[in-house]
Amino acid sequence: MDEQEETVQCLTTKEIKALAQPEFAANPDKFYPTETFRKLGFHRAECPKCKCHFWRHTEKKVTCGDSNCEGKYSFIGNGFLKEGQEKVTFAEAWQGFKQSMTTAKVPCNAIERYPIVARWRNDVDFVAAGIFCFQPYCVTGELDPPANPLICPQFCARFNDLDNIGITGRHYSGFIMLGIQVFNYPGDYKFFKDECIEFNFRWLTETLNIPADEITFIEDVWVGGGNLGPSIEYFVRGLEVGNMVFMQYKTFHDGSREELDIKVIDTGIGLERISWLVNGTYTSYQDTFANALEYMLGKLNMEIDKKIWEGFGPYSCTLNIDEVEDIDKTWEQIASQIGETPDKVKEAIQPIKELFIILDHTRTILITISDGALPSNVGGGGNVRNILRRVFSIMKKNGWWDTLGMEGFLEIFEKHKIDLEGIYGKFPEYKSFGEIIQIEFDRWKYSDDESVKKLEKIIK
């Protein structure tokens, strides 16, 4: 008689996290760097809205600092520029981070970014987070990382929040993640939770000029890839600045765990948010796409209604499409806050939002194609084609092709290169880039025209 196969029930990552969270919350001294928090003058509290535990420097900070609990971004029009500073550019934000981390007590080494096309992995098409560059081999100890500890301005691509781009200020299809990656191998300890908190706090307060009273650290649990550990998100005036993940345990099917021999730090910070936070501008897209935005506004003879955008900016966080229950009611509430009608607010926001979508998508297309991806109907290439066609459609709807033409459209990519040059240097020549965009445009135009003809035939 054949032996009966045993079925093992495995918990999902969400279930494993839910299992671990109460234990972590009940034992903060065991799982979080509480001694270092106290040394820096922080005290533990519970957020009255989301009920999470967080660390604050002053009792005046009532909520955890997340925009969902704060209700708005309170740094807009209220940034952290030092005396004499007019603004911090996108590239200067990276240079400040680099200077701080390379001069820390345990210096981090700055490395160049990896290609966004993740050819060393068979489970993903694009790098979606800095740690992707070092998985699985550096995390398992099979290969040494290029430096240890290290920092990197890694360009990442994510295609799951497209409806939020252009509106919330913090969503992008492609963004630069400032990563701090540390690999603590047996017998080769670098640093872990306590030092990571200290180094990030030093960068926030000394380089970015942010008072300790404005910073909150939220306790959380991270689960992924069979690993688990504490994570700490940090917020300033409603904006999540970064997240420190400490890979400490190996997890099993039932949620049980054991200590990892190799303990890894994976800190991710959105570079686009840093200049936005420090400058206090009404949206991050304004700072991120400085040259490309100026070019587009000039060519299309458009102006941004600064009065409405400056009023709208603090409340843009409430329009996260994944979290808002009644979108029309939210627009009404925002309009009421800034003393305008919903129609007037939407009229001022909508065309500029679509301009920001174009700028976001074209920058992602620039990096993905430059790094070796091609638009296609499958896999990661399908994502590239989808956002490129979304750009083409927005351009058509607004009549912007008539003004720009293909030559003017391709110039947007050149402006992106200028905006990125201070971080990545000059882009190598890619002679067929324009041809790729032109072919995709012709295919889109043909398929679009064919779709219209088919629809008209069906209607008749």
β-partners of residue 373 are none
Strands 53-56 and 215-224 turn out to be: antiparallel
* DSSP calls for 245-260: EEEEEEE-TTS-EEEE
In angstroms, the Cα distances linking 21 to 29, 90, 253 are 14, 36, 17
What's the chain's length in residues? 460
Over 344-361, what HEC string results? HHHHHHHHHHHHHHHHHH
CB-based contacts of 162-166 (< 8 A; 24+ apart in sequence): 162/387, 162/390, 163/321, 164/319, 164/320, 164/321, 164/322, 165/356, 165/357, 165/360, 165/361, 166/285, 166/352, 166/353, 166/354, 166/355, 166/356, 166/357, 166/360
pTM of full prediction above 0.75: yes
Collapsing DSSP to helix, strand or coil, 177 comes out as: strand
- CA dist 135 and 167 (Å) reads 33
Strands 174-184 and 43-46 turn out to be: unpaired
**Quick one: residue 96, left, alpha or beta (phi over 0 = left, psi -120 to 50 = alpha)?**
alpha
Mean pLDDT by 10 residues, the chain (460 residues): 69 94 97 98 97 97 95 95 91 96 97 96 93 91 95 96 94 97 96 98 97 98 92 98 96 92 96 97 96 97 96 94 87 94 96 98 98 94 96 97 97 97 94 96 84 68
* DSSP calls for 48-112: TTT--EEEESSTT--S-SBHHHHSS-S-TT---PPTT-----HHHHHHHHHHHHHTSSSPPEE-P
Task: Quote the tokens at residue 274.
Answer: 């840093």
Question: What per-residue confidence (pLDDT) applies to 451?
Answer: 65
β-partners of residue 220 are 231
The ranges assigned to domains in the chain are 13-277, 282-447
Question: What per-residue confidence (pLDDT) applies to 321?
Answer: 84
Q: Write down the H helix ranges in 212-289.
A: 271-279, 284-288
Is the CA virtual torsion 172, 174, 179, 182 positive or negative? positive
- CA dist 156 and 278 (Å) reads 22
- CA dist 33 and 249 (Å) reads 16
Collapsing DSSP to helix, strand or coil, 149 comes out as: coil
Contact at 8 Å (CB) between 319 and 329?
no
Amino acid in position 32 = Y
The residue assigned the tokens 């993905």 is 368
Q: Give the residue among 356, 325, 319, 342 at the shortest CA–CA distance from 72.
A: 319
Task: Quote the tokens at residue 150.
Answer: 């290290």
Amino acid in position 416 = H
In angstroms, the Cα distances linking 425 to 54, 129, 303 are 39, 21, 30
Q: Give the residue among 180, 174, 370, 344 at the shortest CA–CA distance from 272.
A: 174
- CA dist 180 and 377 (Å) reads 35
Return the percent helix, strand and coil in the chain, to nearest 5.
50, 20, 35
CB-based contacts of 36: which residues, under 8 Å, 6+ apart? 193, 194, 197, 198
Rg (CA), the chain: 23
13-277: CATH number: 3.30.930.10
